């Protein structure tokens, strides 16, 4: 099972929307994952056991695991490309 960190500025509004969209994506591709929802300041505390970071804004720090900005999950513009990036990190065979 994969672990995904989903973060936004406060860890509430936009991250909740991203989590909903991400859950739908994972379900449609039969990928089991644990999702950790947090604010940007809490990301570092979860990276040791996570596979991917998905955020609503660009990060100012680089982490040892991949990160994807998923503002398209909020706007709808470029969502398919973001979904492909996420799936590529979670399941390279897709």
Q: Is 38 noted as a catalytic residue in this protein?
A: no
Which one of 5, 8, 54, 70 is the catalytic residue?
Answer: 8
Calculate the alpha carbon distances from 77 to 19, 23, 41, 68, 80 in Å: 17, 19, 27, 15, 8
Sheet of 2-8: strand order equals 33-39, 2-8, 52-55, 67-69
Residue from 29, 30, 18, 1 nearest 69 by CA: 18
Residues with catalytic roles: 8
């Amino acid at each position: 099972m994969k672990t995904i960190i989903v973060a936004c500025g406060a860890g509430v509004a936009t991250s909740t929307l991203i989590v909903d969209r991400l859950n739908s994506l994972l379900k449609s591709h039969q990928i089991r994952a644990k999702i950790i929802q947090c604010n940007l300041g809490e990301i570092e505390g979860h990276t040791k056991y996570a596979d991917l970071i998905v955020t609503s804004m660009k990060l100012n720090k680089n982490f040892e695991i991949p990160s994807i900005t998923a503002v398209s999950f909020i706007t709808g513009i470029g969502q398919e490309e973001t979904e492909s990036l996420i799936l590529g990190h979670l399941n390279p065979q897709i």
